[in-house]
Amino acid sequence: WDLAAVHRLLAGEWRADAGRVWAGAHGLDTDSIPVRRPPDLFHQAAADDQRHPVRPDGHLHPQWLEEAGPITSARLATWAQLALEVAQLQHSQLRGLSCGSQASATARAESAAELLCAELEFDGLPLDRSVAERIIADSIGPRPSSEIELVDQRNRRDAEVLCHAPPGGRFDLRSPADVRSLLRRIGIEVPDTRAWRLEAIVDPPPLVTALLAWRKAERVASTYGYTWLDNHLGADSRLRGSWSGSDGAAGRMTASAGLHNMPAEMRPAVVAENGRVFVRADLGQIEPRVLAAVSGDPLLAAATAAPDLYAPIAEQLGVARSIAKVAVLGAMYGQTTGRGADALRSLDRAYPVAMTYLREASVAGRSGRNLRTFGGRLIRLDSSSWVVEGSAHDDRESRTRDAARGRYARNAMVQGAAAELFKVWAALVRARCTAFDARIVLCLHDELLVHAPIEHAAAVAEMVGSCLQEAAARWSPDRRVRFVADISIIARWSDVSG
């Protein structure tokens, strides 16, 4: 876990098998990592492949890595020696970074996050099956007893939308092209059929309203339906999925089984067990506050003193709070047009240090120059996936991709640093939970859900808040930046909106 987590931090990639981690620590070309081949006429397995782990070219023998048979003390000792060698090389690489001391601290937080992931996967998230099944039934109907009944339910859901369609056409609601054609038939032209775009339609006709309701039901049917419960909810009423301490890009914790994308409609089923409650903590406006810290902008840092960061920014810019929020988020995501564009230009004058930080990240991204977050995670911008080859026709595509790479870079620098702060906070909360017989049961980007005994709920809530302040003091490069969290004690996840 430790070696893989640090490899991901140093190399900016998610893949972290033993051969790749070894190659990264030793500065070997990962494209030349050998793969195991069955012996044939041209490639005979060397007899010493099973005895010596390192090949003459410095890579690990794939045959040795995959050796079957009994686990002997000698083999374990060899593994331990290899692991120690890699760990020492990784520590040296961390110290050699320009952010060496912070990178070493990030590596420790990554290690703690991997342990937390193992515990989250083992413990699971409390979920009431009867409540979940009732929610599913209200959305898509009772559990089907046959494939024919399943198809009938699907057709009935479709009919509730298509009954508003003009006559004379056949439309597949699961085809974006067909949905656009359907909307065009009733006089609505949209570049795509994303939910947020349809929700923005003023005075929507009945077809659009029905389509949005259908989308929610379809998501339950296809992703969060009865099969989802059967596959992931245990007999102990705990929902389990696999967890990773890093998504490989910005370093955020991720999970499978829908744990990171559970729709609001399903959250009433996440219920604390008898004698327990949830302490839910949600970081407030974390990314702009992180931007203030990593950029060292004293004016933006001063604005973080307010519980609502966007209020003083709005006052500084002379615009409504909603416009100020759009402008700040637009600056971090590289949006330069649309609502808030005028205020976005004013940000350059009001907060020049922070805006310069974002602009320099964007320039690096456009030019394909790799970056590292405040905590040392490599943001890969020279990947072949960004390269566009060709001539005249591809020049325009190349410029478009460079612009996208610039937007990615500025956001990854902020989002990656926010993930680093979050893991320090989560690691501290995890360690302090032991005294209260409490456990973290969910990490959702910038939100923690702690399952705690009722009698300790208030103390756990206070502890979670104090851990945030300690995490900020350990992590933040600018102690003037204030970090806040909305902390509440609830019986079920849906008791707090947002």
Burial track 70-109 (b if 16+ CB lie within 10 A, e otherwise): eeeeeeeeeeeebeeebeebbeebbeebebeebbbbbbeb
3-state helix, strand, coil in the chain (%, to 5): 55, 10, 35
Q: Is 297 helix (H, G, I), strand (E, B) or coil?
A: coil
Strand order in the sheet with 276-283: 439-444, 447-453, 276-283, 485-490
Q: What integer pLDDT is reported at residue 188 of this predicted model?
A: 92
345's CB contacts (< 8 A; 6+ apart) are none
Q: List the one residue out of 219, 216, 214, 226 whose CA is nearest residue 143.
A: 226
One-letter amino acid at 226 equals: Y
d(CA 140, CA 117): 33
Q: What integer pLDDT is reported at residue 399 of this predicted model?
A: 82
Query: Residue with structure tokens 């809530």?
Result: 461
Residue-level pLDDT, tens digit, the chain, 498 residues = 899 999 999 999 888 999 999 999 999 998 899 987 665 555 555 544 556 899 999 999 988 888 767 888 988 999 999 999 999 999 999 999 998 789 999 999 999 999 999 999 999 999 999 999 999 999 999 999 999 999 999 999 999 999 999 988 889 999 999 999 999 999 999 888 888 788 888 889 999 999 999 999 998 998 999 999 999 999 999 999 999 998 866 789 999 999 998 988 999 999 999 999 999 999 999 999 999 999 999 999 999 999 999 999 999 999 999 899 989 988 998 776 666 677 778 898 999 999 999 999 999 999 999 999 999 999 998 866 565 444 445 677 788 888 889 999 999 999 999 999 999 999 999 999 999 999 999 998 899 999 999 999 999 999 999 999 999 999 987 789 999 999 999 999 999 854
d(CA 136, CA 366): 45
> pTM here?
0.89
143's CB contacts (< 8 A; 6+ apart) are 133, 137, 226
DSSP run (H or E) holding 326: helix 321-333
d(CA 166, CA 162): 8
Judge contact between 98 and 30, C-beta under 8 A: no
pLDDT digits (tens, 9 = 90+) for 169-180: 889 999 999 999
Angle subtended at Cα 236 by Cα 464 and Cα 439, rounded to the nearest 5 degrees = 15
Tokens of 217: 């039901």
Three-state SS annotation for 74-116: HHHHHHHHHHHHHHHHHHHHHHHCCCHHHHHHHHHHHHHHHHH
Query: Residue with structure tokens 């004058």?
Result: 349
Query: Residue with structure tokens 């509440």?
Result: 488
Question: Cβ atoms within 10 A of the Cβ of 431, count?
Answer: 12
In Å, how far are 106, 432, 445, 486, 487 from 465, measured between CA atoms? 21, 12, 17, 9, 8
**What is the length of the chain?**
498
Judge contact between 309 and 285, C-beta under 8 A: yes
Query: Residue with structure tokens 């208030």?
Result: 458
DSSP string across 120-183: HHHH-EE--HHHHHHHHHHHH-SPPSSHHHHHHHHHHHHHHHHTTSPSS----TT-HHHHHHHH
Tokens of 418: 């926010």
Q: Is 241 helix (H, G, I), strand (E, B) or coil?
A: coil
DSSP string across 328-397: HHHHHHT--SSTTHHHHHHHHHH-HHHHHHHHHHHHHHHTT--EE-TT--EE--S-GGG----SHHHHHH
Q: Is 15 helix (H, G, I), strand (E, B) or coil?
A: coil
Fill in the DSSP letter of residue 199: H
Q: What integer pLDDT is reported at residue 66 of this predicted model?
A: 81
Judge contact between 154 and 172, C-beta under 8 A: no
Strands 276-283 and 254-255: unpaired
